[in-house]
Amino acid sequence: MSRQDGSGRQVSAVNDEGASILHIDMDAFFASVELLDHPELRGKPVIIGHAEGRSVVTSATYEARRFGVSAAMPVSKALRLCPQAIVLPPHHERYTHYSRQVIDIFRDATPLVEPLSIDEAFLDVSGARRLLGSPAQVGQLIRERVHRETGLTCSVGAAATKFVAKVASGRAKPDGLLVIPPAETLAFLHPLPIRALWGVGAKTEESLVRIGLHTVGDVADTPLATLRKSVGDATAVKLHELAHGRDARSVVTTTAEKSIGHEVTFHEDVTDAARVRLELLRLADQVAVRLRKAGFLARTVAIKVRFDDFTTLTRSHTLSEPSNVGRRLYEEANDLFTALRVEGRPVRLVGVRAEQLVDGDERMAALWDPDEEWRDAETTIDSLRARFGGTAVRRASMLTRKSGETAGGTRAPRDQGS
């Protein structure tokens, strides 16, 4: 195996022939972006979120994570674990800016880039050897350029498969590079805990431990029939393959978006159903705008409702005709909420999601458009917002709130604890 630390110092040399899949993960991405403006906080525990209200942690520095702070944790709990932490508000537009800059750097190395999220991607660098060198050299060049041009750091795993490359990047954190040659794949994987296998959460881990399995090697040595009895056919086959280092997936440069959604966590629990419905309307509008911008229609509308005791309910309904009209999405979401019969129960979070997305051209094949009038109105609003700003035109119902009042939540965007 070949490993480099944050300074790029070579710890050990290895033949990386065949380890042409890179997984690159930005280190504590949101927190690192915020520290670009607060260099005096480097080396200190920092939490990204809002100190007031019901905010959740969107990211945290490694210094804060040592105290058990993690993404999606309520900020109030994070501060109990690490009371000395400094809380900085998130700036999502900056994360998007740096994400695009980093992805452009990846694409300069190879056109075969598969972004997984705002801060990580798979790269196939098998065709870059002649121009840039071996996979390890490409990974190091990317790390150096990312740091030089953005001030941020990333960790790189190089291997023959996506799965092993992703595990390797996690082991290289923070600010490192780890190469796993194909011949050393099993030696690397087998001592790892079973949680290292994709798809092994708490429930699956419990099932595997129950039959005496604790490491990836234990899973590899277990007959497939035994695994099937413990975790079911599909999961057993997947874990059996991964435990043997087998992962046939290639780097895919284009992916269809599977769903689009928005959700909000209220500053205080809401018992007024009308207030929840108003939020469903606002969220449905946001989802519809994103659908239209992306050129999609939704076949299914789903809602999520989380109560004060953290009980979470989800419901969905498939439309008779796919739509990207906010009013249609809201009416479906409202019907789903009404069917829950939970009026008066304190609501902590509510969300709306469009699923089963299809190309917007599919609407042209329909014999009639039940949302034609609303569609025309919302398309006009899109044009006005594009010209005069996102808040220039709003529904009258959205103006009933007092000036400055908001639902007051955060979506806890992905930072995945990296």
Per-residue DSSP letters for 295-344? TEEEEEEEEEEEETT--EEEEEEEEEEEE--HHHHHHHHHHHHHHH--TT
pLDDT band at 6 (very low <50, low <70, confident <90, very high): low
83 and 128 fall within a common domain? yes
Q: Provide the pLDDT for residue 415.
A: 46
How many percent of the chain have pLDDT more than 70? 81
* Annotated catalytic residue, options 63, 114, 120, 184: 120
Q: Provide the pLDDT for residue 407.
A: 39
The answer to whether the beta carbons of residues 253 and 112 sit under 8 Å apart is yes
**Cβ within 8 Å of residue 398, ≥6 positions away:** 278, 281, 282
143 and 71 fall within a common domain? yes
Burial of 380 (0-12, 13-18, 19+ CB in 10 A): exposed
- Tell me: pLDDT of 376 over 80: no
Active site residue 331: no
149 and 43 fall within a common domain? yes
pLDDT band at 255 (very low <50, low <70, confident <90, very high): low
pLDDT band at 160 (very low <50, low <70, confident <90, very high): very high
The DSSP secondary-structure symbol of 407 reads -
E strand or H helix that includes residue 168: helix 162-172
Q: Provide the pLDDT for residue 253.
A: 85
In a domain, 340, yes or no: yes
Q: Tell me phi and psi for residue 161, to 5 degrees.
A: -135, 160
25 and 44 fall within a common domain? yes
- Tell me: pLDDT of 207 over 70: yes
**Least confident interval from 157-171, 273-287, 318-332, 353-367:** 353-367
414 or 133, which is more confident: 133
197 and 184 fall within a common domain? no
Annotated binding residue 175: no
In a domain, 7, yes or no: yes
398 or 301, which is more confident: 301
49 and 133 fall within a common domain? yes
183 and 194 fall within a common domain? no
Q: Provide the pLDDT for residue 387.
A: 55
Q: Provide the pLDDT for residue 379.
A: 62
In a domain, 417, yes or no: no
The answer to whether the beta carbons of residues 329 and 306 sit under 8 Å apart is no
In a domain, 405, yes or no: no
The answer to whether the beta carbons of residues 98 and 79 sit under 8 Å apart is no
pLDDT band at 319 (very low <50, low <70, confident <90, very high): confident
370 and 239 fall within a common domain? no
Q: How many helices (H) and strands (E) does the chain have?
A: 15, 13
- Give the domain CATH number at 327: 3.30.1490.100
**Least confident interval from 193-207, 209-223, 247-261:** 247-261
The answer to whether the beta carbons of residues 49 and 55 sit under 8 Å apart is yes
175 and 221 fall within a common domain? no
Spatial strand order of the sheet with 86-88 comes to 59-60, 46-48, 86-88
Q: Provide the pLDDT for residue 373.
A: 60
**CA 15 centroid distance within chain:** 33
Distance CA 4, CA 155 (A): 10
197 and 304 fall within a common domain? no
In a domain, 251, yes or no: no
263 and 235 fall within a common domain? no
The answer to whether the beta carbons of residues 157 and 172 sit under 8 Å apart is yes
Distance CA 292, CA 323 (A): 10
- Tell me: pLDDT of 287 over 60: yes
Distance CA 239, CA 235 (A): 6
In a domain, 250, yes or no: no
> pTM for the whole thing?
0.67
Q: How many CA atoms lie within 13 A of 114 on its CB side?
A: 17
Q: How many residues are listed for the chain in this entry?
A: 418
Please state the domain count of the chain: 3
**CA 89 centroid distance within chain:** 19
**Least confident interval from 5-9, 137-141, 295-299:** 5-9
Q: Nearest-CA neighbor of 90 among 126, 46, 43?
A: 46
In a domain, 414, yes or no: no
* 59 DSSP β-pair partners: 48
Distance CA 68, CA 80 (A): 10
2 and 122 fall within a common domain? yes
The answer to whether the beta carbons of residues 19 and 180 sit under 8 Å apart is yes
In a domain, 404, yes or no: no
Q: Provide the pLDDT for residue 399.
A: 47
- Tell me: pLDDT of 347 over 60: yes
Mean per-residue pLDDT for 381-388? 56
Q: Are strands 177-179 and 154-159 parallel, antiparallel or unpaired?
A: parallel
Per the structure, the complete domain to which residue 60 belongs is given by 1-188
Fill in the amino acid letter for 410.
T
Mean pLDDT of the chain: 85
3-class DSSP state of 131? helix
Q: Which of 148, 172, 188 is the last residue of a domain?
A: 188
- Give the domain CATH number at 110: 3.30.70.270
- Give the domain CATH number at 215: 1.10.150.20
Q: Provide the pLDDT for residue 367.
A: 37
Annotated binding residue 25: yes
Distance CA 219, CA 234 (A): 15
Residue whose tokens read 């309520």: 74
Q: Nearest-CA neighbor of 153 among 121, 169, 120, 175?
A: 175
